[in-house]
Structures are given as structure tokens and as C-alpha cells.
Amino acid sequence: MSQRWHGPLEPAGTCRWRIPETYRDFMRVPGLIYAHEDMLDALRQDQAPEQVAHVASLPGIVKASLAMPDIHYGYGFSIGGVAATDARDGVIVPGGIGYDINCGVRLLRSDLTKDEVSKHAEAVVNELYTSIPSGVGSRGPLRLDASALKRVLEKGAHWAVEEGYGEPDDLEYCEEGGCMEGAQETALSQRARKRGLSQQGTLGSGNHFLEMGIVDEVFDDKGARALDLFPDQVVFMVHSGSRGLGHQVCSDFLNVMGSAVKKYDIKIPDRQLACAPLASQEGQDYFAAMAAAANYAWANRQIMTHWVRQAVARALHQSAGECRLKLVYDVAHNIAKRETHTVDGEMQDLCVHRKGATRAFGPGRPEVPARYREWGQPVLVPGDMGTASYVLLGTQRAMEETFGSTCHGAGRRMSRTAAKKRVDGRQLKKDLASRGIFVRAGSAASLAEEAPDAYKDVHTVVTTVEQAGISRIVARLRPLGVVKG
């Protein structure tokens, strides 16, 4: 396990801890970690705060290297890391996005209530498990040819809807409308494209999941009404990303960036932070490839959404129309975006990296769907499979402090190896079933790795971002059934 971190954490306001710029010679800006005081001991248990300091060294970084309360040890960036670089002379960092480009989560609401569904919960989970390919290296019934893949990469979720996977309304409720501009298929290697041919419409493994849950408690009546959420309402979540195609893009460009740091004489404290100026050819090529991979991920979640609608209808012996599963929102939590933010009183064009962090735009931003604009952007924060997930809204404070960013999940606190040693997957499945949570997983081992005990307390994480003012808690969701990859 990584060594304990002994660096400075200075109080910087409610749930805010600063790593001063003077901590390391290479820091250009301070680090700022959002954490409750009770989290500090856990925060120091590994070198994640050192990674926050490392990110502060990036050329063109603006204001601070940020980390959300679900921070944990990553590679290059910490998980939960946010960094904005100046689009004119700053860098873009593949390690600030990660291997699973546009890993993200979407929430579907239904008109169904807990009472209508609870006795069918096991049937719904079984139907989801058999309808949607999941597990290690999962491949689905879709086989794209080169032409179709090109359209996926350039059109994202729009391609899926055009092909009959979902409803046109779905697109309005995705970040970027489910399609990032600037994507270029030609920016991907042949190997990356090959990996994309057979994995569209697949969940994958690891922490990816499908979940059926209910709205367990509403904390913000007006916010919940804006999102059409109500107590005991049945909801569904889909968590997946860009699969092997995204992994290959990241690996390919780490090689490119390895040479770019020498070419542009960029000094970095960790090779996983290899980068290039956004305006350089290498930076533009990476942005085009990353956007294409992000589009692949949006299409992937859109296709699975369609299959979720069909599976739920089959399990409940209804038509998909009767189930009325409507998309609340789809968020990306591993991505870099060109965004405009006010910095020191002036509008600035930035490249905002979110690595295990969620965009959380506040009220009034044009990027937020018109229906939600008065309230702020919905934020989806999955917890662990035995506890809860949360729906939040972005705030003006987030716009002012975090480039409109917040947490993305509970954050791991136990390694996968440790979780497998401590948790018996079969017993866990029984324990969860006894609490009314039906789980289907690829293997007992993969279930054990994702055990609730392996994660931090999601309540503390979302309470922290609310106390810090960078999000508002709207509702808590409780799982009824989970499909793990």
C-alpha cells in the first residue's frame, strides 16, 4: 500500500484544505481539497494529496489544482481531480481524463412505484442481466463495420437514436447533447478502432453497473419536482464508458505525449502526467481522439438505455411505452472539455479536466437543458451497491470555485485485493438479497471487489460538497437490484 502522506493541509474555509504553492518547487498554483474534517486521516493514508500537488505543476493551470471529497489514489491525477488549463497556452493531459474516457452515469426515471415493482425486482434484474452484455471483455450482439464506427465516433448518442436505440428527447438530457464537437475518427489508431468494433452496447466490468432503485428520500422538494422525482419512484442507473477503444486512445496518446514533453520542454513530476500544449498538433490530435472516444461512450450508454427499457418492459409484462422510462440526465466523469469560466473577473477559455469528477454547472448556464436551467445541472453520484446513490444539483458557488465541478461517487477505500480477501462474494450476494437487493454479477470475485465495505461512505461525500456549497442534495436513491459487470 502507498505510504502515508505528511504534507501540509491548511484550513481554507468550510470543508476546504489548501496545499500551499510553496509545498513543492514545481507547483504553479496551490492545491485545494474539498473534504470534511473527519475525512482528513483517511485522506492522508495514501499519496493522493501529493498527486494534487503534482497536477499543480502543469503549464497553464489556472487558479488551483482541485480535488473533490471522493479523492483517492490514482495515476497521474488523483481520482476526484479537477484541473483547468488556459486554452491558449496551457496543456491537455490524457492522464487527467484517464483510460476510460467518458466513463459516466445516467439516470432514468419511471412512472412506476416501489409497490408496483418490488415483487418483480428479481425478475427485472435477471432480465437486465441477460439482455445487456456485461463482464470482462464483454462483446454484444452489435457488430459495427468501419463505416458505422466512424458515425458512432463522430455522432455519439445521436447515431444510436438515429439507429432506433432510444428517443430523440434523450439527447437533450446528456452532457454535450450526447455528442462532443471536434471528434475525428482519423485521430484514432487502427488498433483503437478495431477494439471499438465489437464492444458497442456492452457494460464491461470493474465498477460498471446497471441498477434499479427507488427514490428513498427527497431533501429538496422544488429540485426534485424540477427533475420529476418523487418518493418511492422506481429509477434506473447505467454506469459505463468507452470500453477498450477508450483505453487504447489513452495508451496511444501517452506515447505521443511522452515525446511531446521533450519536444516542448515541459517538466512534469510524474510521467503519467505527460501532456502537450492544447494548441499544438499533439494536443489537437488528442482532443479529437478523446472526443471521438467520448462519443463512443455516449452511444454505448444510449444503446444500453434502449435495452434497459425493453428488459424492464419484458420483466413487467408491459410495453416499453407503458413503463415510460425517461432520461433524467447523463453525466461524464472522465473527460476534458473546452469551457468558458470567469477567472479573476474575466471570462477565460479553458480546458477543464475532470478525472473522477462531475460537471456541476449552476443555474442559468446555457449548457444546462432548458427544463433544468433555472435549477442547475443534475449531478448523479453513485454510491455502493448496498447503500445509496444521490442526485444533486450544481450551484453558482461551484461555478465560482471549481469550474462547475463536484464529486462523482463514493471513492474506494479498500484495494480490490483486500476486498477479495475480506469479503465472500457469495455470502455478500445472500446478505444483500436478505435486505431486498438482488444482485447478478459475472463472478463472486468481481462482486467481492465491489463490496459496500470497499467504498467510502457516500453520505459523507455528498454532505461535504453540500456544506462546501458546490452542490445541493436533491434526493437519495436506494438500490433494489444491481447488475455488476
- For the annotated catalytic residues, the residue numbers are 408
Query: Residue 286 or residue 372: which is nearer to other proteins going by CB?
Result: 286
**Binding span for other proteins by CB under 8 A among 16-24, 161-169, 402-410, 415-423:** 415-423
Backbone angles phi and psi of 52, in degrees to 5 = -60, -40
Distance of alpha carbon 288 from alpha carbon 184, whole angstroms: 5
**CB 28 → other proteins: shortest distance, Å?**
21
The burial class, CB within 10 Å (0-12 / 13-18 / 19+), for 368 is: buried
**CB 359 → other proteins: shortest distance, Å?**
22
**Residues that contact other proteins, how many (by CB under 8 A):** 46
Residue 58 in contact with residue 324, Cβ under 8 Å?
Answer: no
Alpha-carbon distance values, 364 to 58, 306, 367, 371 (Å)? 31, 30, 9, 11
**Binding span for other proteins by CB under 8 A among 20-28, 294-302, 303-311, 414-422:** 414-422
Query: Residue 281 or residue 318: which is nearer to other proteins going by CB?
Result: 281
Query: Residue 233 or residue 242: which is nearer to other proteins going by CB?
Result: 242
Q: What residues numbered 446-475 form the site for other proteins, per CB under 8 A? A: 446
Q: What residues numbered 349-378 form the site for other proteins, per CB under 8 A? A: none
Q: Which of 186, 340, 342, 417 binds other proteins (CB under 8 A)?
A: 417
Q: Which residue has the cell 462519443?
A: 295
Nearest C-alpha neighbor of 313 from the set 113, 482, 123: 123
- Asked if 258 is part of the footprint of other proteins (rule: CB under 8 A), the reply reads yes
Q: Which residue has the cell 472526443?
A: 291
**Binding span for other proteins by CB under 8 A among 280-288, 374-382, 400-408, 413-421:** 413-421
- Asked if 72 is part of the footprint of other proteins (rule: CB under 8 A), the reply reads yes
**CB 125 → other proteins: shortest distance, Å?**
21
- Asked if 53 is part of the footprint of other proteins (rule: CB under 8 A), the reply reads no
- Asked if 1 is part of the footprint of other proteins (rule: CB under 8 A), the reply reads yes
- Cα 319 from chain centroid (whole Å): 31
**CB 189 → other proteins: shortest distance, Å?**
11
**Binding span for other proteins by CB under 8 A among 25-33, 107-115, 270-278, 429-437:** 270-278
Q: Which residue has the cell 453525466?
A: 331
Query: Residue 79 or residue 465: which is nearer to other proteins going by CB?
Result: 79
Beta bridge mates, 349: 340
Backbone φ/ψ region at 110: left (φ over 0), alpha (ψ -120 to 50), beta = beta
Q: What residues numbered 180-219 form the site for other proteins, per CB under 8 A? A: 191, 194-195, 204-206
- Asked if 44 is part of the footprint of other proteins (rule: CB under 8 A), the reply reads no
Q: Which of 343, 414, 433, 444 binds other proteins (CB under 8 A)?
A: 414
- Asked if 442 is part of the footprint of other proteins (rule: CB under 8 A), the reply reads yes
Complete DSSP assignment for 211-278: EEEEEEEES-HHHHHHTT--TTEEEEEEEE--HHHHHHHHHHHHHHHHHHHHHTT---SSGGG--EET
Distance of alpha carbon 445 from alpha carbon 224, whole angstroms: 37
- Asked if 283 is part of the footprint of other proteins (rule: CB under 8 A), the reply reads no
Query: Residue 223 or residue 244: which is nearer to other proteins going by CB?
Result: 244
Nearest C-alpha neighbor of 80 from the set 284, 279, 353: 353
Q: What residues numbered 94-123 form the site for other proteins, per CB under 8 A? A: 98-100
Q: How many CB atoms lie within 10 A of CB 416?
A: 16
Query: Residue 179 or residue 458: which is nearer to other proteins going by CB?
Result: 458
Q: How many CB atoms lie within 10 A of CB 75?
A: 15
- Asked if 30 is part of the footprint of other proteins (rule: CB under 8 A), the reply reads no
Query: Residue 99 or residue 165: which is nearer to other proteins going by CB?
Result: 99
- Cα 307 from chain centroid (whole Å): 21
Alpha-carbon distance values, 484 to 71, 389, 421, 423, 438 (Å)? 23, 15, 19, 16, 11
- Asked if 244 is part of the footprint of other proteins (rule: CB under 8 A), the reply reads yes
- Asked if 259 is part of the footprint of other proteins (rule: CB under 8 A), the reply reads yes
- Residue type (1 letter), 465: V
The burial class, CB within 10 Å (0-12 / 13-18 / 19+), for 345 is: exposed
Query: What is the binding site for other proteins (CB under 8 A)?
Result: 1-2, 46, 72-76, 79, 98-100, 135-137, 191, 194-195, 204-206, 244, 247-248, 250-251, 254-255, 258-259, 270-272, 274, 412-418, 442-443, 445-446, 485
